[in-house]
């Protein structure tokens, strides 16, 4: 099944030989890398299909990734549409199913530099908020690109706080139309992808007004560009919002609507509808129309956010066994930098996190699959937990992937600053995920509200309280006041560290609740008390998030009992993840004496030992992600380890070297000769 | 003296009116902003001179910053040389002194987008390592641009570990020349600024070999491009290393030398020389030739690294009083986001740090000025401390500025991701400083060695030990085992928190030393023991660095007793800086019971109270940096607060809006029409 031909596929002459410094890392594997790849792909058949798609893409000369490091803003945009166009042609030729995995694999093969990504967000939202008739009408139009769609929610003046959105949709019973309008400059839709220069239709989120009453945010399908000549339709002002820190292949855009009329049928009406006479009927809760965003948050974890950290780990770890620096002993040659303890400290927690977050995302996705259909059928029982989990998952995965990718980049020293390392692109792409689809601090506060509510439930006597959602069941567990560990090895017991995290999360949630209570007792109202404790609330929510990471990882490892070798190596990563978190937040564990100083030292001893143990499997653990060289697009991170040759040869292709120096005649020569004038 | 005209100078029609949300922030200042500006400029006469230079630059239509957000790699390079060329012409016309402040102020006015920055590094190194004759010969050639210079130290395969540099300079007594040679691909010089397409002469750092013996790294002046036609000279292969995460106006380059010969006089010979017959004579220590780098490290703190954080604070704080989000109470309008506790938590520690690091950099610069002349005269007494302080200062200032600038960027939500916010440029520029001029982890380890040595000294009886350098005098102080604070207000006593930091630094240094000792007792040799404790060593070094930050800030505040209003507001920032550090590292303070859990809660209470107090001065504290709108080049951060208007109008100038869509005819139209083919 193994297809190493994909891994070394850049066509460089030197890729025919492996750098011995990376070859030696693969010589005596302690586990079957291919099996781990299959696990990560969720089945050997998926690995095979993925490689088949990759091989089709890479054998088609129409696709070319390599020069992307030298592209301008415009060129990135054009290349992404080029790729999408050709993927679409491939898909037609090969008969790929619209919902099949092939599209995902093609995206992955092309490092995500594929245009029209908003199509899937439009479709997911349509499925979540649209009636069956609307899905039947708009779904096929969108999927076959008879229209090109975007999702227009965020405004110039409002992002995560959706109640503040200013765009209005006023129902006019005389014509049975909605009048969609941007009443202020800050109401301008701002940020939607594919909007700037591409989309023909926008799913516009706007405040519904019927019969003079404001009914909150609803979704409306609005044609914005002519299907004949692509010019903006009457009443539409639209364009690109300009260059960003990254993701410049996407044309994020702006949209102003000047009394634009759409028929009554264009309001998505699964959870609410407007009758011809303007009567408003709600079928769901006030929050139902946020469901589209919830779906998007869950879907982007595995394919959108996480690969950035995984790739950063691959690149930085491979580079770290090629790069050598200083001698560990005077007589030795310079050591691989990965043999330095400080380099392990930088990278192994990221590697552990890239696995931990993968298993968290899988467990979230599974929970989502269980509960989403019920919600669509208007059974909202699991919605609060689904909301809390997806919010926690998005915030925590985007935060750790961003921190981790930047950590990996910096661990590559100067070369990590070169675009050709591939790392700047990963970092600037993933950091956007901390803000898009909900700013993380706001999301942590939403998690905190869920925790505060359930904490109060847990305080009720067992007979009086509702059963707690499974993710917060620990709030009702009997709590130890001291960690029982007596030696470093005790901290390798998963039950022990999961319990430690549950304890800290519980204590901080309790601490936050007590602060609120104290403020209320001294005269503050509920909202004031909340506002004055948000820093503490966020801290509590983050501890809860770390708990669910560790718990999901622990449970995933336990399930691997038929793969003992893989289980062993992943358990080390799970241990490292838990202990690294304890060390980084040791104050939270020491504060109430749950850990003593001596126990904190044991954690450190266990942690240092784990670094040493993980060292020998590190490269294989990154190989298991099975990213192709083309997909990594990194001079530092190729499978064969020929780092310096690629850096040197790729640099030669930079326009700075292939084009004439624009400054020589204009500035350099006059400057060099100006002293003669002074003679 | 105040010149608001500089602040609102972008020529937009709406800048004639202030946004009332920012105007209200300036209405009742609790201190004299102009006086604080004078303090930061180190004298009112400097403020006046700076504003005069700014006014000259901004009134000269030849300079234009505004479009830089839309530039390509080549355009950035060309614009920087354009700016440098015209600054040079200005300077000639106005008779600016070569060592005067005008050049610095011009650079600041132009946001550092000014070419040929390596000139000053060349000159500083020449002054540090060159003989008086060499300084007299090369200095004027460089300053008048008869030659254009670069500093070529880093290689493809070696950075901070200078002993590993591979470039060789072999002395040939037959011709009295050095043969400079790159023996391997990894010996290729890689990264020097201005090298890629511009410099005519390189100061090449190479391993000196004379009479067969290797003498370590020395500096050699090597002509690399023709002064006639700028083509590479024989034996020289050079070019640009390609695009980077940021700083793309600088042409970082590569250089391979193939047996290039330079005369004996071209080796910089203040600290070592080679006689005509090849005899090697050392006048300094083995480390003397690192002095050039030490000077560079100190010089770039105030003008190179720190302004990135200061500007990020200005932009993000100004934006935070314009942006409104969610209601603090149901009946209120949406609140300024700066009134949310979590936003204060993100930004005020950065604001405090931007002041703290300023005062640290000033105190380092003063110490440097005291000791540098002595070193040049070969009195090396203060060199170890100068080295440790400059290393600690560079690592810690670059780390905190990088973290802080990114924190500020993210605190602006989605708009912080737009290049037009100015924040991505600041972040991608400052993050380079964690790696250039010495990778920070390596630098922390150098600090740790200095600390370990002095810790051992401090253990000797007072009669036996040498006096400790002032920056580590605390290692010999009597230590309390418990913090005496009894209530939150006690943590506002500078003596108390400086002592707390000294305690933690001492404990961690001792902890590291004991770990080394334990390993040696169990059979490890000195180097092995060091290698196995580097994580702990770095932790100790960072605590020491935080101590020197807090101490420098405290001392600077104390000196302001003739400015009580300014002293009061800066003391709050100093308190916040100290307490934020304690909270972020609370485990280090709780570990041995120096702080109890109850005391940690007091720290938090004091900290939350400080956030509230700093709130009302926040905008004025950023105004005091006195950055002009042009220099900030940010749609979010202008003095007048007209954020949304600028975002909207600047976006219209993006090439994505002014140029034809390259993808419409090629991909979008065919895609939209392809379904017809299927009918």
Q: Residues of B with CB below 8 A from A342's CB?
A: 441, 445, 534-535, 538
Q: Measured between CB atoms, does B156 come within 8 Å of chain A?
A: yes
CA distance B17 to chain A (A): 17
**Global pTM?**
0.97
Which one, of B247, B640, B254, B24, lies nearest residue A647 by Cα?
Answer: B254
pLDDT of residue A65: 63
The answer to whether B418 contacts A244, with C-beta atoms less than 8 Å apart, is yes
**What are the φ/ψ torsions at residue A647 (nearest 5 degrees)?**
-55, -45
The answer to whether B342 contacts A538, with C-beta atoms less than 8 Å apart, is yes
The answer to whether A534 contacts B158, with C-beta atoms less than 8 Å apart, is no
Write out residues 414-443 of B within 8 Å (CB-CB) of A: 414, 416-420, 424, 427-428, 431-432, 434-436, 439, 441
Q: Residues of A with CB below 8 A from B503's CB?
A: none
**CA B636/CA B322 separation, integer angstroms:** 9
Distances (CA, A) of B300 to A441, B104, B430: 34, 11, 11
Sign of CA pseudo-dihedral A597, A599, A603, A608? positive
pLDDT of residue B211: 94
The answer to whether A648 contacts B185, with C-beta atoms less than 8 Å apart, is yes
Q: Measured between CB atoms, does B664 come within 8 Å of chain A?
A: yes
Which one, of B132, B163, B154, B447, lies nearest residue B287 by Cα?
Answer: B163
Among A159, A324, A593, select the one facing B414 at the smallest CB separation. A159
Q: Measured between CB atoms, does A590 come within 8 Å of chain B?
A: yes
Among A323, A417, A534, select the one facing B245 at the smallest CB separation. A417
Q: Measured between CB atoms, does B642 come within 8 Å of chain A?
A: no
How many other CB atoms are there within 10 angstroms of residue A518's CB atom?
12
Among A84, A328, A656, select the one facing B242 at the smallest CB separation. A656
pLDDT of residue B5: 41
Q: Residue B485 is encoded by which pair of tokens?
A: 């604070």
Among B81, B227, B432, select the one facing A417 at the smallest CB separation. B432
B317 by Cβ neighbours in 10 Å (0-12 / 13-18 / 19+) ranks as buried
Among A197, A328, A671, select the one facing B661 at the smallest CB separation. A197
CA distance B5 to chain A (A): 27
Write out residues 303-342 of B within 8 Å (CB-CB) of A: 323-326, 328-330, 334, 340-342
Q: Residues of A with CB below 8 A from B227's CB?
A: 672
**CA A20/CA A6 separation, integer angstroms:** 20
The answer to whether A668 contacts B230, with C-beta atoms less than 8 Å apart, is yes
Among A160, A161, A654, select the one facing B240 at the smallest CB separation. A654
Q: Residues of A with CB below 8 A from B200's CB?
A: 672
Coil vs helix vs strand at A249: coil
Q: Measured between CB atoms, does A91 come within 8 Å of chain B?
A: no
**CA A660/CA A672 separation, integer angstroms:** 18
Distances (CA, A) of B160 to B182, B243, B410, B422: 18, 22, 31, 30
The answer to whether A413 contacts B200, with C-beta atoms less than 8 Å apart, is no
Q: Measured between CB atoms, does A592 come within 8 Å of chain B?
A: yes
How many other CB atoms are there within 10 angstroms of residue A278's CB atom?
17
Q: What's the average model confidence in pLDDT over B492-506? A: 98
Q: Report mean pLDDT in 10-residue bins for chain A, 679 residues.
A: 46 73 96 97 97 94 80 93 95 90 95 93 96 98 96 94 94 98 98 98 98 96 97 98 96 98 98 96 86 92 96 98 90 94 98 98 96 90 94 98 98 97 98 94 98 96 89 92 97 98 98 97 95 97 98 98 98 98 98 98 98 98 95 94 96 95 95 77
What string of H, E and C letters represents the secondary structure of B185-245? HHHCEECCCCCCCCCCEEEEEEEEEECCEEEEEEEEEEECECCCCCCECCCEEEEECCCEC
Q: A596: nearest CA in chain B?
A: B591
CA distance A239 to chain B (A): 6
Q: What is the mean pLDDT of chain B?
A: 94
Q: In angstroms, how far is the first alpha carbon of chain B from the final one?
A: 75
CA distance B243 to chain A (A): 6
Q: Residue A311 is encoded by which pair of tokens?
A: 């790739």
**CA B410/CA B421 separation, integer angstroms:** 11
Cβ atoms of residues B566 and B35 within 8 Å: yes
Which one, of A391, A422, A387, lies nearest residue A408 by Cα?
Answer: A422
CA distance B672 to chain A (A): 5
Q: What is the percent of chain B with per-residue pLDDT over 90, rounded to a whole number?
A: 88
DSSP H or E run through A83: helix A73-94
Q: A228: nearest CA in chain B?
A: B669
The answer to whether B326 contacts A600, with C-beta atoms less than 8 Å apart, is no
pLDDT of residue A160: 81
**CA A210/CA A673 separation, integer angstroms:** 74
Q: Residues of A with CB below 8 A from B340's CB?
A: 531, 534
The answer to whether A145 contacts B534, with C-beta atoms less than 8 Å apart, is no
Q: What angle do CA B20, B23, B26 make, to 5 degrees?
A: 155
DSSP H or E run through A432: none
DSSP H or E run through A153: none
Between the CA atoms of A364, A369, A375 and A376, what dihedral angle is there, to the nearest 10 degrees?
140
Coil vs helix vs strand at A201: strand
Per-residue confidence at B13, pLDDT binned at 50, 70, 90? Answer: low
Residue tagged active-site, from B437, B495, B555, B645: B437
Between the CA atoms of A537, A538, A540 and A544, what dihedral angle is there, to the nearest 10 degrees?
130
Of the residues A402, A668, A677, A678, the best mutation for testing chain B's interface (the one with the most B CB atoms within 10 Å of its CB) is: A668
Q: In angstroms, how far is the first alpha carbon of chain A from the final one?
A: 75
Among A341, A420, A644, select the one facing B185 at the smallest CB separation. A644
Among B159, B242, B340, select the one facing A654 at the smallest CB separation. B242
Which one, of A505, A511, A504, A515, lies nearest residue A593 by Cα?
Answer: A504
Phi-psi region of A216 (alpha: psi -120 to 50; beta: other; left: phi over 0): left
Q: What's the average model confidence in pLDDT over B615-641? A: 95
Q: What's the average model confidence in pLDDT over B181-197? A: 98
CA distance B351 to chain A (A): 18
Q: Residues of A with CB below 8 A from B654's CB?
A: 73, 240-243
pLDDT of residue B1: 40
Q: B433: nearest CA in chain A?
A: A414
**What are the φ/ψ torsions at residue B222 (nearest 5 degrees)?**
-125, 120
Q: Measured between CB atoms, does B88 come within 8 Å of chain A?
A: yes
The answer to whether A164 contacts B326, with C-beta atoms less than 8 Å apart, is yes
Cβ atoms of residues A600 and A590 within 8 Å: yes
Write out residues 213-242 of B within 8 Å (CB-CB) of A: 227, 230, 239-242
How many other CB atoms are there within 10 angstroms of residue B12's CB atom?
16
pLDDT at B357 over 90: yes
Q: Measured between CB atoms, does A456 come within 8 Å of chain B?
A: no
The answer to whether B245 contacts A428, with C-beta atoms less than 8 Å apart, is yes
**CA B204/CA B222 separation, integer angstroms:** 7
For the question of residue B558 being annotated catalytic, the response is no
Among A74, A435, A588, select the one facing B410 at the smallest CB separation. A435
């Amino acid at each position: 099944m193994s297809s190493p031909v994909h891994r070394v596929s850049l066509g460089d002459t030197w890729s025919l030989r492996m750098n011995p410094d990376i070859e030696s890392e693969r010589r005596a594997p302690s586990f079957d890398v291919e099996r781990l790849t299959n696990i990560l792909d969720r089945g050997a058949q998926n690995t095979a299909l993925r490689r088949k798609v990759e091989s089709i893409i890479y054998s088609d000369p129409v696709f070319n990734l390599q020069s992307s490091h030298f592209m301008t803003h415009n060129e990135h945009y054009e290349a992404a549409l080029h790729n999408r166009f050709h993927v679409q042609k491939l898909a037609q030729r090969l008969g790929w199913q619209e919902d099949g995995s092939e599209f995902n694999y093609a995206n992955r093969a092309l490092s995500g530099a594929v245009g029209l990504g908003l199509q899937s967000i439009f479709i997911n939202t349509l499925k979540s908020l649209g009636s069956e008739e609307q899905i039947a009408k708009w779904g096929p139009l969108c999927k076959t690109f008879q229209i090109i769609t975007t999702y227009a929610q965020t405004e110039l003046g409002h992002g995560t706080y959706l109640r503040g959105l200013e765009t209005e949709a006023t129902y006019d019973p005389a014509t049975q139309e909605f009048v969609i309008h941007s009443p202020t400059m800050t109401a301008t839709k701002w940020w939607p992808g594919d909007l700037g220069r591409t989309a023909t239709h926008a799913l516009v989120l706007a405040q519904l007004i019927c019969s003079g009453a404001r009914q909150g945010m609803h979704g409306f399908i609005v044609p914005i560009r002519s299907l004949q000549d692509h010019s903006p339709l009457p009443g539409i002002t639209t364009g690109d919002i300009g260059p960003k820190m990254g993701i410049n292949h996407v044309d994020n855009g702006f949209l102003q609507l000047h009394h634009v009329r759409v028929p009554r049928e264009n309001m998505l009406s699964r959870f609410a509808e407007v009758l011809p006479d303007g009567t408003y009927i709600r079928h769901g809760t006030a929050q139902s129309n946020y469901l589209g965003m919830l779906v998007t948050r869950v879907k982007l974890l595995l394919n959108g956010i996480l690969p950035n950290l995984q790739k950063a780990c691959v690149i930085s770890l491979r580079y770290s066994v090629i790069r050598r620096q200083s001698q560990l002993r005077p007589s030795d040659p310079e050591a691989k930098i990965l043999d330095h303890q400080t380099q392990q400290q930088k990278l192994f927690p990221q590697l552990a996190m890239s696995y931990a977050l993968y298993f968290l995302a899988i467990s979230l996705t599974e929970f989502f699959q269980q509960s989403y259909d019920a919600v669509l059928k208007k059974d909202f029982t699991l919605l609060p937990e689904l909301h809390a989990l997806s919010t926690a998952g998005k915030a925590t995965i985007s935060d750790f992937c961003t921190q981790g990718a930047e950590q990996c980049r910096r661990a590559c020293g100067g070369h990590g600053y070169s675009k050709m390392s591939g790392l700047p692109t990963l970092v600037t792409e993933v950091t956007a995920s901390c803000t898009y689809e909900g700013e993380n601090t706001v999301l942590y506060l939403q998690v905190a509200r869920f925790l505060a509510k359930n904490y109060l439930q847990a305080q009720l006597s067992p007979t009086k309280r509702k059963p707690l959602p499974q993710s917060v069941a620990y709030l009702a567990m009997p709590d130890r006041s001291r960690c029982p560990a007596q030696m470093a090895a005790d901290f390798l017991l998963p039950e022990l560290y999961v319990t430690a995290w549950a304890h800290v999360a519980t204590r901080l949630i309790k601490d936050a609740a007590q602060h609120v209570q104290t403020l209320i007792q001294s005269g503050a109202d509920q909202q004031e008390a909340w506002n004055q404790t948000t820093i503490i609330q966020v801290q509590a929510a983050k501890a809860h998030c770390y708990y669910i990471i560790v718990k999901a990882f622990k449970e995933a490892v336990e399930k691997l009992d038929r793969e003992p070798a893989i289980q062993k190596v992943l358990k080390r990563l799970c241990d490292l993840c838990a202990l690294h978190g304890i060390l980084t937040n040791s104050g939270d564990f020491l504060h109430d004496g749950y850990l003593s100083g001596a126990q904190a030292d044991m954690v450190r001893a266990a942690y240092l030992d784990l670094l040493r143990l993980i060292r020998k499997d590190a490269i294989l653990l990154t190989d298991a992600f099975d990213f192709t060289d083309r997909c990594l697009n990194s001079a530092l991170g190729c499978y064969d380890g020929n780092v310096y040759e690629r850096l040197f040869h790729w640099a030669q292709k930079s326009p700075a070297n292939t084009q004439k120096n624009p400054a020589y005649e204009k500035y350099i020569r006059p400057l060099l000769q100006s002293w003669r004038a002074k003679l």
